[in-house]
A and B are shown apart, each in its own frame.
Chain A
């Protein structure tokens, strides 16, 4: 969720910067990114800048839709709970 929340700001983000922002190790990040990429929620772009390899991450339209659907579902749970009280 945090990965998609970061990318939901319509930004591309560097792999390492995302890990620092979310306090995740490269290995942990890699596992999450792989799952999200396999689900079609993320696009991974590997390139070279000043001869250094850089990996950038983009959220896909499918990923943004899934994220919004999940957030709306969580809000609905809270609203139902509030109306019951």
Chain B
């Protein structure tokens, strides 16, 4: 191959840059919109749990259904130009988490009201950590960061845990979604 070291270095740098852009574009396909959606739903759901003293199922059931329908609409309204096995696996991961999260909740019942909400949030953050291992460090840090926030709230602000998760957890998800939509194209 008749290529100078400088040309080889430049080409390899281009390859690395292009590969990173492609990987980010794959992830950004719907990730930004979904994170913003669930960030706002978390803010709504956890804040409602703090201010309205009813069974948490009465709050999360309609929010979960709304979130599921809107997520499906975001995912299927426009077939994304970029698909990868990893992205398709993410949908399957969250379905499995939904199922196992429910089973674990049944096995660990009864819960304290606040602890149950924190438990649900941490289950989904586990999903983001796994996503991060597949798709990129942003999701890994998102999952770990929000989980650390949940733990801090659990022990430092027990009476304000739901509101704390609404602001820090929901706010972080929505902010990450905005960042992805702007920065990962």
Contacts and interface: CB of A to CB of B under 8 A. Distances in A.
Contacts of A16: 81
Interface of A: 1-2, 5-14, 16-17, 21-22, 49, 54, 56, 71, 73-75, 77-78, 80-81
Contacts of A75: 8, 12
Given A9-B19, A21-B25, A77 B81 contact: no
Contacts of B23: 9
A58 to B, nearest CB: 10
Interface residues of B, number: 24
B81 A14 contact: yes
A5 B84 contact: no
Interface string B1-39: 101110011011011001101110110000000000000
Contact of B14 (A1, A11, A12, A81): A1
Nearest to B86: A10
Nearest to B21: A21
